[in-house]
Structure 1
């Protein structure tokens, strides 16, 4: 992969492990000549992963809606910056600019982005690897919910398997490199929505 989109929090969280994971991811991306694509924020884990990538000589592409620029949360030192009008445009452009997606810990925005990109994969709109960096078990309860969705017949196992999970950067990047997309099936005709 030459570019990875990272979803993560606009806060750093209470556990220092989250910030360390963002720094490690940024460093690994730079060392492997993988562009970071992200939401262009300067705060929280967003700022940490961008700063770490840049500090190690990496290339960082940010995509930000105008209203967030006006709130002065945009990163001012990126390699490339795209300004858009809406959050929907932001998500679509970020997906277009990447070859894989990683979710670090975050809040509503990160979860929204993760589930939207998973839905797009389920519908066959892309076949890019999607991974969760499950730092400190942050996503354990979410993963249990996904398993319950499969158990109760609301999610097919094929859709559940679209999400790759690891608790460290190296393992997650390896899983993403090894990912083989399953040929798209008509998910909605099979009752999976």
Structure 2
């Protein structure tokens, strides 16, 4: 079954929502973004998170020592590197899984993913000056015939209305949503519920 990651959690009720829906991954953003939270805020949220849900920390071009501090203080299960991190900089995080985000502009973007020795490749849309969270889709036809050696986490403009089609086309390990389950910039339980139900109905 395709795994579900809900990203950009920042309120106690967001944690309540993911706990009720029993999603697989909860994402916390530690990079410049309207969804950014501090380590202190994340610690309080994680304390209330269902222990079965894996904790993902999202970083953009961050120093390794800062990332390690987050891993130690918050008990992160996954580090999501969403910036311009080169292949040689993604190792050395011990037991923590590493996902590298690739902003898909064309076939060459997908080839670049092969250079990374990571536990997962997150495919997101490419918008100049932004590192994710755009709510925009990339052309999924680019994935036709492409099979990356790493597990694929599909992101970028997903919502309850298009996630089934995207899964059938890409066959990812997991899907990642943030904007697509929000109303007015905040997580919406009914949208989250519908999204999770659509994924799990396959």
Q: What range is the shorter-chain TM-score in?
A: 0.3 to 0.5
Q: When the two structures are superposed, what TM-score results if normalisation uses the length of structure 1?
A: 0.42
Q: When the two structures are superposed, what TM-score results if normalisation uses the length of structure 2?
A: 0.41
More strand by share: 2
Answer 1 or 2: higher relative contact order, Cα 8 Å, separation at least 6: 1
More helix by share: 1
